[in-house]
Amino acid sequence: MSLTKEEVEHIASLAHLQLGEQELEKYRRQLTDILDYADRLRRVDTSAISPTTTVLPLRSVLRTDEIRESLARDDVLANAPERDRQMFRIPPVFE
């Protein structure tokens, strides 16, 4: 199986990655190789096997809903590329 350029562009778009022409071609080849290798998984009969989503013994993890201190707002906003008062600033979303 070989990925097409269109497929790679579609994946990049889903992943929100802006890629140049050379990158697209490089990943087209490399992803094709890796997926070819991963195709050996199809040989395994898993019709009666459940998927593993976690290795932990299943248990319900709950905690009491208590009011507690959270991170200081100014500390968190200190990392913002652009802030406006107590908000993150981004380009307009609506016309």
Partner 1 sequence: MDPLELTLCESAEALRAGTLSSAALVEAYRNRAEQLNPKIHAYLNIAGEDVIRAARDADESWSAFRRGGDAPGPLTGIPVAVKDVLCVKGYPCTCGSRILENFKPPYTATAVERLQSAGALILGKTNTDEFAMGSSTENSAFGMTHNPWDAERVPGGSSGGSAASIAARMAPIALGTDTGGSIRQPAAYCGVVGLKPSYGRVSRYGLIAFGSSLDCVGVLARTVEDAAFLMEIMAGYDPMDSTSMPEKTPAYRKTLSGEPDLRGIRIGIPKEYFSAGIQPDVDRLVREAIGVLGSLGAETKEISLPNTEFALPVYYIVAPAEASANLARYDGVRFGLRREGQTLRELYDGTRGAGFGPEVKRRIMLGTYALSAGYYDAYYGQAQKVRTLIKADFENAFRSVDIIASPVTPSTAFRAGEKVDNPLAMYMEDLLTLPASLAGVPGISLPCGRDSQGLPVGLQLSGPFLGEETLLRVSWSFQKVTRWHKEAPSP
Site for partner 1, rule CB under 8 A: 8, 11-12, 14-19, 23, 27, 30-31, 33-35, 37-42, 44, 46, 49-56, 61, 63, 71-72, 75-76, 78-82, 88, 90-93
CB atoms within 10 A of CB 32: 16
Question: Tell me, what amino acid is at 33?
Answer: D
Query: Cβ of residue 39: shortest distance to partner 1, in angstroms?
Result: 8
Helix axes 21-38, 5-14, angle to 10 degrees: 100
Give the nearest distance from C-beta 66 to partner 1 in angstroms: 10
Considering the complex, what minimum distance in angstroms separates the CB of residue 24 from partner 1? 10
Which phi and psi (to 5°) does residue 53 adopt? -100, -25
Cβ–Cβ < 8 Å for 78, 72: no
Closest CB to partner 1 among residues 67, 72: 72
